[in-house]
Amino acid sequence: MNDLARRIDAVLPQTQCTRCGYPDCARYAQAIASQQADINQCPPGGAEGIVRLAAITGQPIAPLNTSHGIEGPLTVAVIDENWCIGCTLCIKACPTDAIVGSNKRMHTVIEPHCTGCELCLPVCPVDCIALEMVSGERTGWQAWTDTQAEQARERYRQRQQRTARESVEHEQRLEAKAEMKLADLAAHSQHTDPATLNQKRSVIEAALARARARREAAAEPERPAE
């Protein structure tokens, strides 16, 4: 991320709601910096957010593009515990790890960590999540503080690190299992035909090669933006 993108990201509300059309606030900031996105695509930032972005980018102030949503009060998700089935889908969708619970156990929202992103709503199969307004008539940046935005950014960053680590650990477990089978394929197969065993060996070796390639690609340092 270049300096301009970092400055833009610093004035975004960090709800990570994706309403701007990008996967997160950082990607939206990069798109603005590279002139691939307009500064009026962030409903949580609202009119004041557009003014902040205009000051940084030099672009003219424009009304919020309502195709991305409308400016509104700060909301937090509330789970109806009587209907929650413990599917964990909302936990996986939450960008700031604001929902806690486990499989087939009731979930609950940690209110101070919820950004009101609404990403948990469409994934709930029993429609047991509602939004509760917590800022009264205050909207946009009047309903949201820089401190809250920084906390949301940090929690999102920590979640990204955790999920990336868990993905690597999962890949490593699969690789170890595949390598164990490869070391003594006959003992781990119901087949005894040499041709069939050789075919399975080729499949496993190809899968291991792809896994190693993904790991090496992920380890490459990110190239700085122009």
DSSP string spanning the chain?
A: --HHHHHHHHTS------TTSSSSHHHHHHHHHTTSS-S---TTTHHHHHHHHHHHH-PPP----GGG----B-EEEEE-TTT-----HHHHH-TT--EE--TTS--EE-GGG-----TTTTT-TT--EEEEE-STT-BGGGSS-HHHHHHHHHHHHHHHHHHHHHHHHHHHHHHHHHHHHHHTGGGG-S---HHHHHHHHHHHHHHHHHHHHHHHHHHSPPPPP-
| pLDDT at position 67 | 97
Query: Of the given ranges (112-116, 117-121, 144-148, 172-176), which has the lowest mean pLDDT?
Result: 172-176
Q: If pLDDT is split at 50, 70 and 90, which confidence band does 105 have? A: confident
**pLDDT per residue over 62-75, tens digit each?**
999 999 999 999 99
Q: If pLDDT is split at 50, 70 and 90, which confidence band does 224 have? A: very low
| pLDDT at position 222 | 54
Q: What is the mean pLDDT of residues 172-177?
A: 79
**pLDDT per residue over 6-52, tens digit each?**
999 999 999 999 999 999 999 999 999 999 999 999 999 999 999 99
Q: Is 90 exceeded by the pLDDT of residue 190?
A: no
| pLDDT at position 219 | 63
**pLDDT per residue over 134-174, tens digit each?**
999 999 999 999 999 999 999 999 999 999 888 878 777 87
